[in-house]
Structure 1
Amino acid sequence: MRKYGLFVPVLILLLATVWLSWGCQPAKKPEGDRKYKSEPTISLYDNQTGQKKQIKLEEYVAGVVAAEMEPSWPVNALAAQAILARTFTMENMATGRVKKLHGTDVSTSVEESQAYDPSRITERVRQAVQKTRGEVITYQGKYIKAWFSASNGGKTAGAAEGLAYYKTPTPYIKANLDDPDSLQNTLPEIQRWTATIPGDQVRQAVKSIAGQDPGPLTSAAIAQRGPSGRTVKLKINNTTVGGPAFRLAAGSTEIRSMFLTEVAVQGGNLILAGKGYGHGVGMSQWGAKNKAEKGVSPEDIIRFYFQDIEIEKLYP
């Protein structure tokens, strides 16, 4: 009669313990719920020193805005950049890209994360960040790819055309959109530019993309244009390469954009002429500056370049 006497109370105690442990655990955040009770602290890897530190998200965003945009520009332009920087940060953290590299949320490398320079932070930058505190851009409940470039040359590009990006759909990008603000009141070298690329540099760039040597540079032509007029395919001798890939391989500071107006070969060099600066996808910084000077709000600047989006506040 007593052989179950000790077992049954123990069994009841175990079941009760399991039940209580289930019932007392804090509720998990529903998937897609991005709201925070307060501003989060994130971890930052300094690529120059190798040090890691904890930093408040808004302080990090200020350092990004100061590095990515001229700090003396209008507050509303800087604020639009802050919304993009904050969104980029959260999307980057969600993917865990930097975590895999350094064990931190973000880094100071523009290739891995975003440009970051706290020494350039001004009172105007701080006002812009505070003005949009916690604001991020989402599309159907997910953070968007918060792309921007210096100037789209007067017309925006889609992700496929400007960046050769096909990995995920980006229907929130307004492509082929007229944007005269991106060229008005900008630097002369953005409105119209020319570049002379040495033949050997062109040859090496093509080889790195196509995997084959095109030979000494003798001819060049636009093989295909995208909807906005950008060069999506460029023919060098008898080899055709992607426009965005060629710009990166041959020099993205020299070849300011693939919004080309002229392609020629002279004296063994590649001669290019074009307009704008950057890939042209998403927000144009010069466009944002000119819109801000007209009194357009940061949120409406964002809505000009992105469609069907929500601008959410993550924390108070």
Structure 2
Amino acid sequence: MWYRKHLVILLVVVALAVLSAGCPGPARKPGVPGGPGGLRQEPTISLFINETGEKKNIKIEEYLEGVVAAEMDPSWEINALAAQAILARTFTMKKIQEGGVRERGVDASTDVKEFQAYAPEKINDRVRQAVRMTRGEVVTYKGNYINGWFHADGGGKTAASANEGLAFKKEPTPYIKSVKDPGFNITVPENKSWTARFPAEQVRAAVKQSAGQDPGSITEARVVARGPSGRATTVRVGSVTLSAPALRLALGNDQMRSTLLSKFAVEGGALVVSGRGYGHGVGMSQWGARAMAQQGKKPEDIVNFFFRGVIIEKRWQ
């Protein structure tokens, strides 16, 4: 009797163990790493090639070589390129986690408007080494991927928040901080001081596009509010008050190079804008990364300099 009773118990325990082992865990996209700190297999991602319209599967590290080559000058110092690789990898993983490029049914796209820039034809040995030396490294804050923002040049000082530089309010970004940009001493002249003129009709159309209101005749313009780093956050054009980052995008971010403005006024029937820096100013300055690399700083040191309280984790070998 004793034997039969314990045999039944033993069989029940074994059966439960088998059933438990056979039950699948939470659904997760194949190949995409999960929680923080763990080492996983390198993901294979689906990529939409905008130039040809084809879709293909590609290892993420191979994909990142094309991204780094497009986003930063491939001739720059390897440690600067490596810092760029860490942020590009983080950006990619966060976007995939959020659903990728749903309109295309893929993880990533070579269309810069949909994802990141991509130029495999520019890949060289420096880029390959930069990606290889940071293989699997991503940036997290309290276990979650950060928004790996970067810009060309901070104009001497990076933005104090994502809201200041990008008018970004989708989620909290406590890891963004304002620092003195070490790249301002070595950057190109057009980043140290620039001026752009925009015809009144172009400005009127840009305001309509970004604010949804007609400013009427463009006879005046001024900065209404600035953030802690000095960047314009709100401007008034004609009769409309609107976001400075939004207006910059509508006018063309290659023409209105930043929101770190020294002049914003109407002269001779045109909007005249002067300032310094190039880009939104949030996160890592690429020229700053280059300056730090020239000083012998490691890629991880560069990333940590521009972001607050983050951890660089190796998600796969």
Q: Structure 2-normalised TM-score? A: 0.90
Q: Which amino acid aligns with 1:105?
A: D
Matched residue of 1:207: which SS? helix
> 1:32: how far off?
2.4
Q: Take 1:146 and 1:163, find their aligned partners in 2: how far apart are those partners?
A: 13
Q: Which residue of 1 aligns with 2:310?
A: 309
> 1:23: how far off?
3.0
Q: Which residue of 2 aligns with 1:261?
A: 262
Q: Take 1:102 and 1:34, find their aligned partners in 2: how far apart are those partners?
A: 31
Q: Which residue of 1 aligns with 2:72?
A: 69
Q: Which amino acid aligns with 1:79?
A: A
Q: Take 1:91 and 1:301, find their aligned partners in 2: how far apart are those partners?
A: 20
Q: Which residue of 2 aligns with 1:10?
A: none
Q: 1:123 aligns with which of 111, 122, 125?
A: 125
Q: Which residue of 2 aligns with 1:79?
A: 82
Q: Which residue of 2 aligns with 1:159?
A: 162
CA deviations over 1:259-287 (Å, ceiling 9, x no partner): 00012211110111100000000000000
Q: Which amino acid aligns with 1:278?
A: G
- Equivalences for 1:1-316 in 2 at 5 Å? 20-25=18-23, 32-33=35-36, 35-98=38-101, 100-157=102-159, 158-175=161-178, 177-179=179-181, 181-316=182-317
> 1:74: how far off?
0.2
Q: Take 1:228 and 1:247, find their aligned partners in 2: how far apart are those partners?
A: 17
Q: Take 2:241 and 2:86, find their aligned partners in 1: how far apart are those partners?
A: 38
Segments of structure 2 that go 5 or more residues without pairing to the other structure are 1-13
Q: Answer whether contact 2:36 2:144 (CA < 8 A) is retained.
A: no
Q: Take 1:140 and 1:127, find their aligned partners in 2: how far apart are those partners?
A: 29
Matched residue of 1:102: which SS? coil
CA deviations over 1:29-57 (Å, ceiling 9, x no partner): 89624634432211111122111111111
Report the number of matched residues.
300
Q: Take 1:184 and 1:261, find their aligned partners in 2: how far apart are those partners?
A: 19
Change in 2 beyond 3 A, CA 1:33/1:304: closer
Task: Using the TM superposition, name which of 69-78 and 181-190 deviates more.
Answer: 181-190
Q: Take 2:212 and 2:44, find their aligned partners in 1: how far apart are those partners?
A: 44
Q: CA RMSD in A?
A: 2.0
Q: Take 1:36 and 1:43, find their aligned partners in 2: how far apart are those partners?
A: 21
> 1:87: how far off?
0.4
Structure 1 segments, 4+ long, off by >4 Å, are 16-19, 26-31
Segments of structure 1 that go 5 or more residues without pairing to the other structure are 1-15
Q: Structure 1-normalised TM-score? A: 0.90
Change in 2 beyond 3 A, CA 1:313/1:206: same
Q: Percent identity?
A: 54
Q: Take 1:76 and 1:289, find their aligned partners in 2: how far apart are those partners?
A: 8
Q: Take 2:73 and 2:38, find their aligned partners in 1: how far apart are those partners?
A: 30
Q: Take 1:155 and 1:276, find their aligned partners in 2: how far apart are those partners?
A: 9
Q: Which amino acid aligns with 1:225?
A: R
